[in-house]
Structure 1
Amino acid sequence: MSSALVWFRRDLRDFDHAALFHALKNYQKVFCVFIFDSTILDALPTRSDRRVEFIHGSVLELDAALRVKGGGLIVRHGPATEVVPALAASLGVTAVLANRDYEPQALARDAEVAERLRLLGVSFADFKDQVIFEKSEVLTQGNSPFSVFTPYKRAWLKTLTDFHLKAYPVDKYAVHLAAPAAGETIPTLAELGFTSTNLGELGIVPGMAGGRKLFDDFLKRIARYKVRRDFPAVKGVSYLSVHLRFGTVSIRELARAAHAIGGEGAETWLSELVWRDFYFQILWHHPRVVGVSFRPEYDKVVWDDAPDLFAAWCEGRTGYPIVDAAMRQINHSGFMHNRLRMIVASFLTKDLGVDWRLGERYFADQLNDFDLSANNGGWQWAASTGCDAQPYFRIFNPVTQSERFDPDGVFIRKYLPELAKVPDKYIHAPWTLPPIDQKLAGCVIGTDYPAPIVDHAKARELTLARFGVVKGATE
């Protein structure tokens, strides 16, 4: 009897799953495995990580769902490069199937696994699953990868057909699922060396059920997405990013729904999914962006060595309320609204003059939805070093951004309770509040809330000079 092993990674669902479908269709007996990869876990900066808890909860749910279908999940803890070949050998399978990853470290891992399997006489195959279009499926007329989003989006939409959005009918072949051996258990968080976080009190529900609930709720609001998405105090976005990151939802189902609904709200949200594909293909074609600027000339930019300023940014004590509230949000919840990501990234690089790579790494540690391609792309966009980036001379003013996108200070007050009694007129720049009124509001600048650590107007001039030197040298 032919048998195979499906290796789950960032695709923690039992439906519309490319690798699982191909395995079930082509093999008579299909085992399923998830590995808590110690190579990844051991490198995390803390033993209390919301992402690990989210994955753990999603794995528990996936195992239960597979058992209902007659299968189940084999769960292991160790280096994936060793565990996968060893498990394949012990199960006697002839093939291992997985969904494709595009990050350089993941590609190296998969290549090592494939070689070890080859030596055992076991094949390895991977499939496109976490994107609609990958690698070189969408190219310019000159047959080269895109580096500007808008023409990429046009080509993406022109290439799209119903076939690309069609779900994989996993249930049709579920009879081939193989149950794990009796006594197989899933290690607890503690057994993995981790502790519980505030995931539950934040209301973040892991797994397919959590993703389904959010998606169903968003479909009721999607028509208003375009007009509401930039306001962090408003329920305007989908909140599905962590579910997309770990594959507890299907990108095909999401894109299919948005494409079918149409209208400015759904079309704008579909554009965000296209941005996701865009950054994946940038990472695939230009893996060097992991450590350097997409536009090499901007590696000559001289950033300031300012650990105190960087620490103030990380801890939400810059004196600019919209920046500080956003940083307190990410530190507390692992989530940050997309508009705020742009504001704080611009502030770190353009107001504080700090290297974008430091901010990128901080987000990588903090974000529940951390995804290398999108995180790198977003940071390089804000720093003006990336593909299709914000021009270096367009610099966000944190006060005017705050006034525009949190006009009543609702978001600011949620995360900065010390500003609760500051009048709306001054909430975006509380240092302009007269001293007597600061005392009346219980918020004396420099005591109850920090004074601005940098003057935006002066910082803007420094940034123009910083980039101008490089720009002048390359023209």
Structure 2
Amino acid sequence: MNFFWFRRDLRIDDNAGLYHALREGGSVLPVFIFDTDILDKLEDKDDRRVQFIYETLTELKSELRRLGTDLLVFHGRPLEVWKKLLATHSPQGVYTNHDYEPYAIKRDAAVEKLCKSLGVGFHSYKDQVIFEKDEIVTEARKPYTVYTPYKKKWQAGLSDFYLQSYPNSRYFKNFAKVKKQETMPSLQKIGFKHTDFDFPPLKLEAKLLKNYDKTRDFPALEKGTSHLGIHLRFGTVSIRELAREAVKFSPVWLSELAWREFFMQILYHFPKVEKQSFRPEYENVSWRNSKADFERWCEGMTGYPLVDAGMRELNETGYMHNRVRMVTASFLTKHLLLHWYDGERYFARKLLDFELASNNGNWQWSAGTGCDAAPYFRIFNPQTQLERFDKKGDYIRKWIPELGTSRYPKPIVDHVFARQRALKAFQSALKPME
């Protein structure tokens, strides 16, 4: 008997690790662990992401029950859970899919060590990306640190071999037969509350992809972007399926998938970026430390409508349009000169589709501390961005009903002053390095 450990791959179709486990023969029993090392760090007990996972697991469990098997769901520290499972079941192997975040790498190394000490195989596979680790590297066999050449090589490498789905259904007969259904711990038991929130459906329309290059920058358009971030984050959809659709309909959307994998390989090869600037010289920037300004940014009360609308949308829905994410991040780091890590952590707390590599990479891109040639010169003008991408004001009026009244605050800082202050701070920090 073998175990399959679900994590960021909550589906039974086109799942690499599950495919290999089933194909090996024998019987496969699926497992999921609500990881307390992760959950205990979440600040909000009504965190919708936990609810999304819970609801997805409920559906997954029902799907597996129809196949005559079950999903074992646990709540605890993964290493401790596996110690008990391996002792009580004596499996031949544990199968799972790779995760590239620093915590996950350490967690998996500890579980693999435990397995080996007991003579149990530990098998992990690539699933959440098209290319991983050292598959896309420079001619010198080093990781790319600039996006454009990475994207060119990434796109050149796409082929049917990398985009084809795993035919899991061929081997469903190899799931372990389970007669008595195992109960799941309730959402309340693992420490979280249920909400009435409706999550975006798992649906990708060809029409949306065909028009994506024309619609993606306008936040007022409800169907301008896919809203599939949460599904990609937790693996309720396969990256291979999405990439095939992108190849057919939208080179621009395909490049967004490449951005995702670029940042994943940056985090994998340079794990320090989780908390430090990619370019070490930017650690010298004299960031301001204003809790009041940070709170006004969080609340959407800066007096800059596009920034405030974005933050209010994030706080209410757990989503923010990508163009607006760039504007709000630039505003925090350049206009308010507050450290990118504080903003990155706030997004990590609120975003339904939060994924460490992409969130970190995009924040460092916006702050100018990441993978760019001369990044600190890029300072978005929130008013210009508003005029260009929400010309009629539909987006800002939706999220700021008091706009144009005395209840809406005046700008927290003058744009010209803030821009000069930011340039001076960055130039001063980099001067000793020149």
The bucket for the TM-score relative to the shorter chain is over 0.9
Q: How much is the aligned-residue C-alpha RMSD, in angstroms?
A: 1.2
Distance in 2, matches of 1:389 and 1:397, equals: 20
Matched, 1:51 2:10: no
Match of 1:78 in 2: 76
Distance in 2, matches of 1:86 and 1:119, equals: 14
Amino acid at match of 1:13: R
Match of 1:453 in 2: 412
Matched, 1:330 2:314: yes
1:142 deviates by 1.7
The 5-angstrom pairing of residues 62-211 of structure 1 reads: 62-180=60-178, 182-200=180-198, 204-205=199-200, 210-211=201-202
Distance in 2, matches of 1:298 and 1:190, equals: 43
Show CA shifts across 1:55-75 (max 9, x none). Answer: 001101111112222222111
* 1:274 counterpart SS class: helix
Distance in 1, matches of 2:410 and 2:288, equals: 21
1:92 deviates by 2.1
Distance in 1, matches of 2:157 and 2:78, equals: 36
Distance in 2, matches of 1:239 and 1:86, equals: 39
Distance in 2, matches of 1:71 and 1:112, equals: 28
Show CA shifts across 1:248-306 (max 9, x none). Answer: 000001101211x14xxx10000000111100100111001011110111111110011
1:72–1:180: 8 Å Cα contact kept in structure 2? yes
Match of 1:219 in 2: 206
* Higher mean displacement: 145-154 or 173-182: 173-182
Selected match of 1:257 from 245, 254, 260: 245
Amino acid at match of 1:249: V
Q: In the superposition, relative to structure 1, how do residues 341 and 276 fare at CA in structure 2: closer, same or farther (>3 Å)? A: same
The 5-angstrom pairing of residues 236-315 of structure 1 reads: 236-259=224-247, 261-262=248-249, 266-315=250-299
* 2:325 counterpart SS class: helix
> Greater CA radius of gyration, 1 or 2?
1
Amino acid at match of 2:430: K
* Higher mean displacement: 61-70 or 287-296: 61-70
1:4–1:27: 8 Å Cα contact kept in structure 2? no
The 5-angstrom pairing of residues 401-416 of structure 1 reads: 401-416=385-400
2:70–2:181: 8 Å Cα contact kept in structure 1? no
Amino acid at match of 1:340: V
Distance in 2, matches of 1:65 and 1:282, equals: 36
1:162 deviates by 0.7
Amino acid at match of 1:231: F
* 2:30 counterpart SS class: strand
Matched, 1:463 2:432: no
* 2:332 counterpart SS class: helix
With the length of structure 1 as denominator, give the TM-score of the two structures: 0.89
Match of 1:230 in 2: 217
Selected match of 2:352 from 358, 364, 368: 368
Distance in 1, matches of 2:156 and 2:295, equals: 46
Amino acid at match of 1:369: D
Aligned residues: 433
Distance in 2, matches of 1:4 and 1:220, equals: 42
* 1:35 counterpart SS class: strand
2:23–2:171: 8 Å Cα contact kept in structure 1? yes
Amino acid at match of 2:161: F
Distance in 2, matches of 1:378 and 1:285, equals: 17
Any gaps of 5 or more consecutive residues in structure 1?
Answer: 423-442
Distance in 2, matches of 1:26 and 1:368, equals: 35
Amino acid at match of 1:132: I
With the length of structure 2 as denominator, give the TM-score of the two structures: 0.98
Show CA shifts across 1:26-52 (max 9, x none). Answer: 031100011111111111102110000
